[in-house]
A and B are shown apart, each in its own frame.
Chain A
Amino acid sequence: MSVVMQRVKRLKSALRDIGLARRVGLSRSALKVAVASGIFDERFYLRTYPEVAEAPEVAEATISLFEHYLATGRFEKRKPSAIFDPVAYAEANAEVATSGMEPFLHYVLIGKAAGAPLSKAETILPRPALTREIASGTRRLIVFLTPGFEARAGGVLSIAAICEESAGLTHLHRAKVALCTVPGDDPLFVKYTWFENSHYLLDLTAV
């Protein structure tokens, strides 16, 4: 390809980006960061908001689902994926309200690099430190899921016991071991108090 052709291609691409950035109300640099964040999950978005598929511009394929999210969904506090809830993010980060940005944009431009928590559940001590400790450089991970509420049941004792024993077998599985709450249970629940134990329950998604 000649140099001229390459320049024309780049120019066309730039014009497309400028057009898209304008349509969705972002600067070009912000659009780039939003794309690079990889937070948007098309399958999740369509499954969670099936009515989006019927929006005329989506149905006619004038815009993609990501463009729909950027142009409309983020202002309606819709979730771009299972791992980002704009309402929970805004609750956990008071500065979002004063920033003049909606939560998604705040996260991709500021929060992500700063390690901002995605929800209040991630801020409960000692969760942030334990999550970092479990996740840091980890290539192999074993997670035990347990009820995220004060369930007084033999099953809970048993899970805690198997978790403890597993943590002592790293020579066999070469993995770190964590105890996390079952997805969907109370995200703020962090410790059982009805039996003596030293376990802190982590958030599976955050780990």
Chain B
Amino acid sequence: MRSCANLEYLLLHIPEYAVNRVSEWLNNVSSSLLRNIREVHLNVMLQNIDQIQGQNVAELKRFGKVTATTAHEAYSNSATRQALGITVHKLSVRFGPELYKLTAYPDKKPILVVSPDEHPLKEQVLGQIACAHPQLDMRIINNLSYEEYKALVSRAKWALTFGEGLDGYFAETIFSGGNSFAVFNERFFTPAFAALDTVYPSWEVLQERMPVDLQRLDEPIAYDRCWRQGYDLLTSLYSTDQFRENLRSFYRGEYTFP
């Protein structure tokens, strides 16, 4: 802001977890760096609805117009608009099957990709799976480049996420031809995902059923049927063309929940 002496319009896209820090920064610089900017627009990028907890979005209103854009369908609604008290626009993410190498069952390897998220039951769950499927190569993602990770996912038959549920580990595996396991989390999944064979209502159910389902689904027809359900659901939600249209709408000021 120091170098932009002639600035008239500033749009700051702020990741949701950093709202309070950016507010503090704005508070510190508003009387020096921002004083000549006629129009300030602050957009909170809601990529993980859980991370907005404890962030004071209303505080941003002191500095200009405030909006929020969403990444997940599950919280792209009027309830979020009401809870935050600001305009909400459904943006989604640049994500679609064309960005991934689709590998069919015959070319897949017995690899289970595991998300690096911490979870109290992680050790126990992975222990049970290892016990039931000693031949399975379990890979907890750690220190891989994104390109290495994508290459691994395209080879892997399976993925298990300990994160928010509908996350990259879940969705990218399916777009790469794999089957993904998760526990249903209503804050990120839309209700339709609850019907998938590999999305369980709780960690207890996952512990009980996942070892059995790994066995049951490990043949071409069952594997492909299960994959197709997840794939169809994801393609109904994610498209790069739709994302681009949503982004254009945002810059035109045409918001989903004004």
Contact = CB atoms under 8 A, between A and B. Distances in A.
Contacts, number: 137
The prevalent SS among residues of B at the interface is mixed
Interface stretch (B3-11, B122-130, B229-237): B3-11
Interface bracket on B: 35 or more
Contacts of A175: 9, 11
Contacts of B15: 145-147, 155, 159, 182
A137 B25 CA distance: 24
Interface in B90-134: 91, 93-94, 116
Nearest to A38: B32
Interface string A182-200: 1110000000011110000
A47 B28 CA distance: 9
A93 interface: no
Interface residues of A, number: 51
Nearest to B6: A139
Interface stretch (A3-11, A25-33, A94-102, A165-173): A165-173
B80 interface: no
A43 B93 CA distance: 40
A64 interface: no
A36 to B, nearest CB: 14
Contacts of B3: 131-132, 134-135, 206-207
**Interface SS, A side:** mixed
Contacts of B14: 145
Nearest to A158: B93
Interface in B6-48: 6-15, 18, 21-22, 24-25, 28-29, 31-33, 45, 47-48
Interface of B: 1-15, 18, 21-22, 24-25, 28-29, 31-33, 45, 47-48, 71, 91, 93-94, 116, 145-147, 167-168, 243-244, 247-248, 251-252
Interface of A: 38-39, 41, 43-44, 47, 81-83, 118, 131-132, 134-135, 137-147, 152, 154-155, 157-159, 161-163, 165-166, 169, 172-173, 175, 182-184, 193-196, 204-207
